[in-house]
Amino acid sequence: MAYVEKSSFERDMNYIPDRITAEPGKSRDTLAHQGVAGPDVEHTTWPVEPGRYRLVAAKACPWANRAIIVRALLGLQDVISLGMPGPTHDERSWTFDLDPGGVDPVLGYERLQQAYFERIPDYPRGITVPAMVDVPSKAVVTNDFPWITHDLFFEWTEHHKEGAPDLWPAEVREEMETVMKRVFTEVNNGVYRCGFAGTQEAYEDAYDRLWTAMDWLEERLSDRRYLMGDAITEADVRLFTTLARFDAVYHGHFKCNRQKLTELPALWGYARDLYSIPEFGENTDFEQIKQHYYVVHKDVNPTGIVPKGPDPAVWLEPHDRASLG
């Protein structure tokens, strides 16, 4: 995930803006995701076509982990293949070091960078995950992560499994957009704002903003099972991937240490509740998460030492939240 180095952390939100839609040139939903999906730019559309695209997404990365979870929730595993880079990478690119010979078996690439260069030679920005890749041309289609999960729901509807959850319920969608915007700016991005602050003042401002939002979430989840009520939505996916990394990484590595997640009763129960759902829990890999942050962020952790804890077994403890919905 690219970012701009200043005293205060700023995320580079300029992505390849193409989209994959059921009807090329059109989309089934026109919400702008202002403040979430980056600048307002004209989209080029590609056709929905089972078997044509490969989602490249690392379990280590919270933004990519969203796409893996949504793909599983909607039952798109046989429609969109999944390539998974390893948890660490160098300055050039994510690499496929988990695959035999270090080569993605479908794309034939050692580095995700190759798919970017196939589309845009000498692509000048960061090589990020998740990325949707067109298998016939082996070229990246888009890396615009909020739109990827949005379109998996709205544009691939005909290929969803029976009983797939309604991740964008119409009756709460407007409020959900507001909730997701705050979760993104203050929590998903807020932990990075703490971790990459360049001055004490910038860090303390980021810390205060993060914990104001965490307190808001703790209160919101004290009397409802999920962020929008009785059923999981896209908003829950987006929050979960940050919570799953909180105690293992953000609490210490990013200095977000007012409290641990395990010390926040509502948020901790909520996180365990989601983790108990196979599509969430089975796609959460705490070892890969720790390897990624503690090895890749050499400026934050120059020794590269990866902590042994915390014990992931605590995630299996009963959450006792079924009574809320």
Examine the domain organization and report whether 143 and 35 are in the same domain: yes
Q: Which of 127, 159, 191 is the last residue in one of the domains?
A: 159
Residues 219 and 110 in one domain: no
Q: Which residues constitute the domain of residue 77? A: 3-159
CATH label of the domain that carries residue 287? 1.20.1050.10
What pLDDT, in 10s, does the model give residues 269-304?
Answer: 999 999 999 999 999 999 999 999 999 999 999 999
Q: How many domains is the chain built from? A: 2
CA gap 148, 55 in Å, rounded: 9
Residue 56 shares a structural domain with residue 196: no
User: Does residue 165 lie within any of the structural domains?
Assistant: no
Q: Which residues pair with 142 in a beta bridge?
A: 132
Question: Is the domain of 175 the same as that of 194?
Answer: yes
In this structure, the number of other CB atoms found within 10 A of the CB of residue 124 comes to 7
**CA–CA separation, 279 and 165 (whole Å):** 12
Domain edge (last residue) among 159, 194, 228: 159
Confirm whether 192 is a catalytic residue: yes
pLDDT digits (tens, 9 = 90+) for 66-112: 999 999 999 999 999 999 999 999 999 999 999 999 999 999 999 99
In a domain, 249, yes or no: yes
Are 33 and 141 part of one and the same domain? yes
> Pick the catalytic residue: 15, 53, 61, 116?
61
Residue 94 carries which DSSP code? Answer: B
Which residues belong to the annotated binding site for glutathione?
A: 94
pTM for this prediction: 0.93
Active site residue 194: no
* Same domain (yes/no): 147, 30: yes
Tell me the per-residue pLDDT of 204-222, one tens digit each, with 9 for 90 and over: 999 999 999 999 999 999 9
Element (H, E) at 10: strand 10-11
Per-residue CA distances from 281 to 68, 80, 314 (Å): 11, 20, 13
Asked whether residue 74 falls in the same domain as residue 184, the answer is no
Helix (H) or strand (E) run with residue 134 in it? strand 131-134
Q: ω into residue 310 within 30 of 0, thus cis?
A: yes
The last residue of one of the domains, among 124, 159, 194, is 159
- Cα separation, 68 vs 31, in Å, equals 22
For residue 164, tell me if it sits in a domain.
no
Cα of first residue to Cα of last residue in the chain, in angstroms, is 35
Mean pLDDT of the chain: 93
Q: Per the residue annotation, which of 192, 226, 270, 275 is the catalytic one?
A: 192
Binding site, by residue number, is: 94
